[in-house]
Structure 1
Amino acid sequence: MNTNTHKGFNGLVLLVVFVLLITGCAKFENREFLVDKPQSILDQEALDALGELKSYVTYSNQPSFTLGAEISLNDIRNNSLLYRLVQKQFDQLGLGSVLSHLNSVQADGSIVLTDLESALAANDTTGTDAYVGHLVWHQNQRSAYLNSLIADIVLPGESGSDVVVDFESNNLGDTYPTTTSDVEAYVINDPDGKSGKVLRVVRTTGTAYPQFQITLPEGRQLKHYTTVQVDFKGGTCCGYFGFGMQMAISSSLGNVGTVGYASPSSFGFPADVWGRGLITLSLANLNLPESLKEANTFVLTLGSGTGAADYLLDNITMNWNIPGETIVKTPEEKAAIIRGELDKWLKAVAEAANGGASSWSVVYQPMDDNNPSEIRTGVGTTVPANTFYWQDYLGKDYAAIAINLFRQYYGNNVKLFITETNLIGNTAKIQGLKDFITYTESKGAQVDGIATELALDLNTNKSQVEAMLSALAGTGKLIKISAVDIGVGVTVSLANNDLYESQAEMYKWFVDAYYRLIPPAQRAGIIFKSPMDRATSSNWRPGEPVGLWTTQYLRKKAYAGVVEALEANKGK
């Protein structure tokens, strides 16, 4: 190859390399500078770069503070993604709504708490704390069972018939006394040959009524009997007509005054024919004295009023009716029964939990909304189904009873709260709650703290919330926000960036307000009711974006709002 050819090749190579370098640079510049990331991705990356929520909390100056999120027992048992997220981000599980007396207590009074037991046992291995409630409430109670225990005892009535005289045990010719000393009635065979032995009453002139000494079955008295029935057969000459059936009840034999009834002819059977069970005479007509009504043994006088007696009697039957009786339980008896049920319930919960939670809501919503200085009551109202007011039977002491019982079974290494709701802008209710706690403690029960639940939105009156926090702090008790979420007024499908920005600011303000207004020693923590936005199938704020995460587990601006507030208050 000559020198000129070699130089031309080298120049071509340099040209190709130069072109390739220029082309490569152009492609690099397009990737780096001409294609920008969407702002939404940049925002999400910034959120993802934030630390875990609990890493922004200083615990040394606020020893009772916990940062929690509400979760279900199913999530714990199944080790769901949400449960793992909550464990990573928070130091307490909010189980404020998992206990239901209605679901746990069966119709027969037995108690099933396997869900609570298994969930807390599973969580115990993770070292994550739990807050559980509510032990004593008026709603979601197995009220049908409880009411059955204190209901009046209704003893059903009984009725029947006793054949007191049928002459079958007599011998033929046996006699019975009558109201006159010169005439006796005597036993013969039934002339019709159908009913064994019968009694014949005969007196040629005037009348005589046979008498029978009766002893009633044990346990029954004359007052229980209503009528007397008798089989009768008489002719037109000798008793079928006359001046009526006659009856008396006395304590002894002899000539007694009788009370008249209709004649046998009026009871619907012909003369000289047996009227079987057709003659019925009311005992009420006799106007018996109380002494006889209480009798078990007496003399029955019974016959037909006629001028020339000749008639037959058989099967004298007395019909009785013992009315039902209602035994009313006294208030003291009811209180003892209900206290026993409360004892059984709290003991079962304590045993099932087995120390798996450090704090509990023992009494929920004690104060009356319409009369906030008084506890709730169902007296004078139509109590809805599955509602039971324990306090209506145990009185104002019911909270003290519950707290002391639960400490007895669970141990003293636990913080017990009374939870009340609807406190924003309600100074009267806060005062009523404060007075109720003072009363409860005067009965020897230690109340560690007050818990409240807050469903806020973008338009919530901040000054009223701050006033509420200040008033609660003034009680000197631990103050726990056991459930808080902040809605934006629309569902996820309608929410926009401006609303989410406002929500983040609202979360930031609330956490900051809690820190500013609750002294460190009184801070028992905040539990976020909805760590994630609500599903459309949820019973609580369905479809609303109230959480710190989306339903796809993406952090929201609200997450950053909470982080900013926690970080700003570190060590305060």
Structure 2
Amino acid sequence: MKYTNKILLGALAVGALSGCTDDSMLPYDVGAKPESLSQYEYLNNYDVLKSYVDRTENPNFKLGIALAATDYINGDQVYSLACSNFDEMTAGNEMKYASIVSDDGTMNFSTVTSFIDAARQAGMTIYGHTLAWHSQQNLNYLNGLIADREIETEPAEPVEVEDGNFNYAVMGSYQYWSQKPEGSEASITISDKGYLTITNPEFITNNWDFQYHIADGINWVPGTDYTINMMIRSSVETSITMAAGTWSANPGLSVALTPEWTELEIPVSPGAEGSGFVMFQSGNFVGTIEVQWLKVSHLETPAATRWINLVTNGDAEGDDVSCFFATEPGVGGPNPCTIGEAGTGADGVGHAFVVHSADNPANTYDTQFFVKASQQLVAGTNYRFSMKYKADKAANSETQAHNNPGGYIHYAMLPSNPSFTTEWQDMEVTGTISAEQAGESGMNTIAFNLAVLGEANTYYFDDIAFEIEGEGDKEPLTPEEKKDTLTWAMDNWIKGMMEACGGYVVAWDVANETVSDADSDGDGYFDLQSATNGDPSTNFYWADYLGSEDYLPIVTKAAEKYFAEYGGNAADLKLFVNDFNLESWWDGNQKLKSLIHWIEVWEANGAKIDGIGTQMHVSYILNEADQKAQEDAIVNMFELMAATGKLIKISELDMGIVEKAFADGIPTEEVTYEQQQKMAEFYQFIIQKYFEIIPAAQRYGITQWCATDSPANSGWRDGEPVGLWDLNYNRKPAYGGFANGLAGEVIAEPSASVSNE
């Protein structure tokens, strides 16, 4: 039987809109209920969800619900459901960056403050979602902050651009359009001397009756001023009419001619558009006109071009190695490259980047040196690369195009590869990034394969520049300037949010979805989300600019500072790193292991991270083997989390149902009663395992992401049975499974399935 009927089980007190004191349910008279719906009657035996939390064992546990803050503020069914069943709320969108920050950077926290006022009056807490994220950011504002800056440039001198150059000697014979009166003996020819020769033996009453093109195929552009130069003479001194343009726009002007060869320079502004001509009208002139050549041109001021260096500390005289990496035998990599001692630099002066290879390599790329640019380079980008280089032994090398060090794209990069000698050499090459080198999302790294020799060797690099050709009067900000600017922007955002909250919101997703599913450098941990593995057209990757290791310390320090400054008790502040797919069975929970690694990195740099949030947007899998693998991975996830000693939160729990792993979700209307029970059992499994594995002191809480099933037109898991209630706010079996998990036992046995066939 498909579950297509709706039953009106009272799930909440819809009349309790002024407070959260009424935890009652509306009873339902089952006497008149169709038999096929009576199987849901057992759900009437459940109390509200929060009543099943053991507050003695879990005094600080928060049972949460995600909702639209505006719905809660309006005091409708959402308000009553939240107050009756939950302790805490998470705003789905209203506390996110894009909902608050406008294109000019101004911030509107009015919804946030109204939400807090309503929560305070009802005695509900709010979980802050989210301070830092790459999604739902105001790209116009943020990209504008780090846009190229204007620079002072010397104005370029205009240059002449030819639009047509006509040498009649090579034409052979006259080939353009002309007209003359019937019977006229006027002629247009190319003479033996190669001159365009116009002869008219008798006066023609209408001057325009004898007209002819002396140049054709000229591309006229409206608003452009042109110059027509020609070498011309006439048999007697005279004036004729010249027109330049197209048939729809060809202003005429008088041109004076003499018997002496004269180079005329005639300014014209046809106002025409498209292919056109230069034309003479000379019916009133009796005699001969000769033209040696004609040229049409205009002046253009070329765009100012310059080379923009995309690497910092190329001379190795500072400590910054953010643009230079190496993979070496016995060490691995890519790792930040080693800077040699004083005296290792070019010609024995200063420092150099030093890379060591070993004997008998298996591959030419077993030893690599990487030069990483500060931005992505797409196909068609002109570049210039220069450096000084040498080695302890003469050796050849290869170059490759990479997207980040170790992210191989193409086997050939530079037009010529360096051949090392024991003496310092200079290298400078220019080229254009090809489609093969750019790959799908652009390249940013030149990789030098240094194991070509096959013997142990030491390589030295100095005075490195990786430049692109820029135009106009702007230049990009340096990486340091971008970091400084965006650190200010992040600080300003967090300050505004903490001021609006006034210390009421004490727990936060300090950063959301930081970890990708790619390990480009082969270190065994997934990289952070980045423009190199994501979509910068819709996301803003703060870590790309603030630095992978500094990202979270910058955010958490601002959160700590302004939480205390605007009324919060510093001891109460709890900061979580939140992510999805931490229960991934397909890779042995590798994303969670990577997140734990990054937390260790951030904490070593001074970040405050109190907890881990696991979103758990899961699906019950009808394939038993897949479902068992998923359940095992959930257990492993909780065990790994518990071992961190941090607070653990299930932050966005919801559930669909699929036939097999990674299949599309089964629509709500097609889910059977038996399948609903399986989903309920899975809810109970997840929640019970949370309480079994996570120590009481680490249990922050559990938040259900979807109160009701998702509407067909929703932007989130559309048409799927992800709620604990249906769209009419009737309890579902999932409600019972959720409650059972909280209680640690089955509260009410489900009814047997009833067929209405």
Q: TM-score, normalised by structure 1?
A: 0.63
Structure 2 segments unaligned to the other structure (5+ residues): 1-30, 159-255, 268-299, 305-471, 565-569, 622-626, 659-665, 747-757
Match of 1:334 in 2: 482
Shift of 1:277: 8.6
Deviating more after overlay: 349-358 vs 444-453: 349-358
SS at match of 1:88: helix
Deviations along 1:429-465, one digit per CA (max 9) or x if unpaired, are 2222112112222222221100011122221421111
Match of 2:752 in 1: none
Contact 1:374 1:432 in 2 (8 A): yes
- Residue 579 of structure 2 corresponds to residue 420 of structure 1: yes
Match of 2:734 in 1: 558
SS at match of 1:501: helix
- Residue 503 of structure 2 corresponds to residue 355 of structure 1: yes
> How does 1:364-513 map onto structure 2 within 5 Å?
364-371=512-519, 373-378=525-530, 380=532, 383-395=535-547, 396-411=549-564, 412=570, 413-424=572-583, 425=585, 426-459=588-621, 460=627, 461-489=630-658, 490-513=666-689
Name which one, 1 or 2, has greater alpha-carbon Rg.
1
Shift of 1:552: 1.5
1:63 to 1:41, Cα distance in 2 relative to 1, 3 A: same
Contact 1:548 1:556 in 2 (8 A): yes
Looking at structure 2, the residues matched to 382 and 359 of structure 1 have their Cα atoms a distance apart, in angstroms, of: 28
1:159 to 1:539, Cα distance in 2 relative to 1, 3 A: same
Looking at structure 2, the residues matched to 270 and 339 of structure 1 have their Cα atoms a distance apart, in angstroms, of: 74
Looking at structure 1, the residues matched to 576 and 502 of structure 2 have their Cα atoms a distance apart, in angstroms, of: 18
Contact 1:486 1:503 in 2 (8 A): yes
Counterpart of 2:676, as a letter, is Y
Match of 2:721 in 1: 545
Looking at structure 2, the residues matched to 92 and 404 of structure 1 have their Cα atoms a distance apart, in angstroms, of: 25
Shift of 1:272: 11
Contact 1:96 1:134 in 2 (8 A): no
1:157 to 1:517, Cα distance in 2 relative to 1, 3 A: same
Contact 2:49 2:85 in 1 (8 A): yes
SS at match of 2:65: strand
SS at match of 2:106: coil
Contact 1:96 1:131 in 2 (8 A): no
> How does 1:174-323 map onto structure 2 within 5 Å?
323=304
Match of 1:91 among 83, 87, 94: 87
Looking at structure 1, the residues matched to 635 and 76 of structure 2 have their Cα atoms a distance apart, in angstroms, of: 36
Contact 1:97 1:132 in 2 (8 A): no
SS at match of 2:703: strand
- Residue 532 of structure 2 corresponds to residue 536 of structure 1: no
Match of 1:13 in 2: none
Deviating more after overlay: 95-104 vs 110-119: 95-104
Deviations along 1:459-498, one digit per CA (max 9) or x if unpaired, are 1421111111111111111110101112134222222211
Match of 1:62 in 2: 58
SS at match of 1:543: coil
Match of 2:107 among 111, 114, 117: 111
Which structure has more helix as a fraction of its residues?
1
Looking at structure 2, the residues matched to 497 and 381 of structure 1 have their Cα atoms a distance apart, in angstroms, of: 41
SS at match of 1:488: strand
1:414 to 1:96, Cα distance in 2 relative to 1, 3 A: farther
Contact 1:351 1:409 in 2 (8 A): yes
Match of 1:520 in 2: 696
Looking at structure 2, the residues matched to 429 and 494 of structure 1 have their Cα atoms a distance apart, in angstroms, of: 33
Deviations along 1:32-72, one digit per CA (max 9) or x if unpaired, are xxx88655565544322321111111123223311111111
Counterpart of 1:144, as a letter, is N
Contact 2:515 2:529 in 1 (8 A): no
Structure 1 segments unaligned to the other structure (5+ residues): 1-34, 162-267, 280-318
1:427 to 1:552, Cα distance in 2 relative to 1, 3 A: closer
Contact 1:52 1:89 in 2 (8 A): yes
Report the number of matched residues. Answer: 394
1:111 to 1:274, Cα distance in 2 relative to 1, 3 A: farther
Shift of 1:399: 0.6
SS at match of 2:731: coil
1:50 to 1:153, Cα distance in 2 relative to 1, 3 A: same
SS at match of 1:135: coil
Looking at structure 2, the residues matched to 558 and 378 of structure 1 have their Cα atoms a distance apart, in angstroms, of: 37
* Larger relative contact order (Cα-Cα within 8 Å, sequence gap ≥ 6): 1
Shift of 1:387: 1.3
1:95 to 1:321, Cα distance in 2 relative to 1, 3 A: closer
1:274 to 1:69, Cα distance in 2 relative to 1, 3 A: same
Counterpart of 1:386, as a letter, is T
Counterpart of 1:555, as a letter, is R
Match of 1:128 among 109, 114, 124: 124
1:348 to 1:569, Cα distance in 2 relative to 1, 3 A: farther
Shift of 1:154: 3.6
Shift of 1:368: 2.3
Shift of 1:331: 1.6
Looking at structure 1, the residues matched to 101 and 739 of structure 2 have their Cα atoms a distance apart, in angstroms, of: 41
SS at match of 2:649: strand
1:467 to 1:98, Cα distance in 2 relative to 1, 3 A: farther
SS at match of 1:468: helix
Looking at structure 1, the residues matched to 140 and 558 of structure 2 have their Cα atoms a distance apart, in angstroms, of: 24
- Residue 149 of structure 2 corresponds to residue 153 of structure 1: yes
1:451 to 1:539, Cα distance in 2 relative to 1, 3 A: same
Counterpart of 2:484, as a letter, is A
Shift of 1:269: 9.0
Deviating more after overlay: 91-100 vs 52-61: 91-100
Contact 2:510 2:575 in 1 (8 A): yes
Looking at structure 2, the residues matched to 380 and 90 of structure 1 have their Cα atoms a distance apart, in angstroms, of: 40
Q: What value does the CA root-mean-square deviation take over the aligned residues?
A: 3.3
Counterpart of 2:609, as a letter, is V
Contact 2:69 2:92 in 1 (8 A): no
Counterpart of 2:479, as a letter, is P
Shift of 1:379: 5.2
Counterpart of 1:432, as a letter, is S
Counterpart of 2:124, as a letter, is T
Looking at structure 2, the residues matched to 416 and 433 of structure 1 have their Cα atoms a distance apart, in angstroms, of: 15
Looking at structure 1, the residues matched to 265 and 257 of structure 2 have their Cα atoms a distance apart, in angstroms, of: 11
Counterpart of 1:484, as a letter, is L
Counterpart of 1:393, as a letter, is Y
Deviations along 1:514-539, one digit per CA (max 9) or x if unpaired, are 11111111111111111212222211
SS at match of 2:116: helix
Counterpart of 1:548, as a letter, is L
Contact 1:95 1:132 in 2 (8 A): yes
Identity of paired residues, percent?
Answer: 31
Looking at structure 2, the residues matched to 492 and 361 of structure 1 have their Cα atoms a distance apart, in angstroms, of: 31
Looking at structure 2, the residues matched to 375 and 269 of structure 1 have their Cα atoms a distance apart, in angstroms, of: 77
Contact 1:482 1:526 in 2 (8 A): yes
Which structure has more strand as a fraction of its residues?
2
1:380 to 1:445, Cα distance in 2 relative to 1, 3 A: closer
Counterpart of 2:499, as a letter, is E
Looking at structure 2, the residues matched to 555 and 42 of structure 1 have their Cα atoms a distance apart, in angstroms, of: 13
Q: TM-score, normalised by structure 2?
A: 0.48
Counterpart of 1:550, as a letter, is D
Shift of 1:417: 0.3
Match of 1:343 among 491, 494, 507: 491
- Residue 71 of structure 2 corresponds to residue 75 of structure 1: yes
